[in-house]
Structures are given as structure tokens and as C-alpha cells.
Amino acid sequence: MGGTFDPIHHGHLVAASEVATEFDLDEVIFVPTGQPWMKTGPGHRAVTPAEHRYLMTVIATASNPSFTVSRVDIDRGGVTYTIDTLRDIRRLRPDADLFFITGADAVAQIIEWKDVDELWSLAHFVAVSRPGHDLTVSGLPASEVSLLEVPALAISSTDCRSRVGRGSPVWYLVPDGVVQYISKHHLYRASEPVMNHTTPENA
């Protein structure tokens, strides 16, 4: 499951768990993005430094033995494209059948992703329902994309960030360890912007 995970929240975790159960997956690899090109650049906010997003993802998934976190997109550097993510994961897991988990909002944009026609040979895509978004495969090859209804959690990273920014709690929207990480590193505080060069060591 790829994501910006800024921060990771229970919507991500429930989606991953439901897909793992439904498709009998051995492992779900969470892959935090490097630079997500659809969320960066002019007119977009600065995405939180990758090391913070990576560590929050590790904390959130640590208690589940089937959940792991990959650094491939972070360590490759630069803009993240799923075509590269899947090629790297395939190299690391040559014998695995790969599934790529997305939410209904992300799957609706796949047609704009880099090298979209090549994606289907690398993984089977599973799109999960998300409150506020229609779940359809229109325009996509139906045999390559499965749709799955998951328990509706109207949680977004955007809302988590703005809640922290205005001093509202994010308890129970994100895992407890992520609440504590956000607080410890002063993430998402409007008055204390986190610069892109900030690392967990000097935050």
C-alpha cells in the first residue's frame, strides 16, 4: 500500500487489514512516498520530511506481524511513481504475487499516473471504498482492478493535520504512538512549521 502517510491514520490501517483478509495476503508492505508529484509543487503545501512519515508508519504498523514498511520510494529519492515502486518491490520479492492497495480517490486518478498501461503487468490493483468518493473502475481494465467495500472511516491526513494545527485531539484517529510522535516532534503546528531539511534527529 503506497501513501504519503502524512500522517498515517486508522483509515489506512483498516483498508490494509481488510484487503489482507479478503485476498488472503501474507504481508502488507506500507510504502511511504518520496515526493508525491500530485501533492507537491506550486499551489501545494510542503509535505512533511520523509523520515518523519516513515517513522510514523513504522510505529503505526509495529504491532501487526503481517505489516511491514518499505523505504524503496524514500531511498530512490526524487518524485515517486508507482511504476518504480512496483519494479523495486518485484526485485525484492521476485516470487510474490503483488497487489497494490489504493483508496477510491486515488484509483480515480490512476489514468493520469506515469506509464499506467505498464502497471497492470506488475500488480493486481485493489481499490477500497472511502467516504465521500465513488468506488468505480470506469476507464480502467476491469480484470486488473478489484473493488472492495471496507468499514467507512471518514478520516484523512488533511483533517488530522488541521486538527493538530488548531489544537484539537487526534486520539483514536491515528494510533496512540503516532499521536505521541506528532507531539514530540511538533509536527503540524501552524506556528512551528517543519522545514523540508528537518530530520528526526534535529527536530
Site string for ligand ATP, 121-140 (x = CB under 6 A): -------x-x----------
| 33 contributes a contact to ligand NCN by CB under 6 A | yes
Q: Which is nearer to ligand ATP, 81 or 94 (CB)?
A: 81
| 106 contributes a contact to ligand ATP by CB under 6 A | yes
Residue 130's Cα: distance from chain center in Å? 14
**Stretch in the footprint of ligand ATP (CB under 6 A) among 23-31, 65-73, 101-109, 141-149:** 101-109
Site string for ligand NCN, 35-74 (x = CB under 6 A): -x-xx-----------------------------------
Site string for ligand ATP, 151-180 (x = CB under 6 A): --x-xxxx----------------------
Out of 2, 7, 49, 175, the only residue in the binding site for ligand NCN (CB under 6 A) is: 2
Residue number of the CB atom closest to ligand NCN:
2
| 113 contributes a contact to ligand NCN by CB under 6 A | yes
Q: Which does 70 bind (CB under 5 to 8 A by kind): ligand NCN, ligand ATP, none?
A: none
Residue 90's φ and ψ, nearest 5 degrees, are -60, -40
Per the CB < 8 A criterion, the answer to whether 34 and 77 are in contact is: yes
| 81 contributes a contact to ligand NCN by CB under 6 A | yes
Residue number of the CB atom closest to ligand ATP:
103
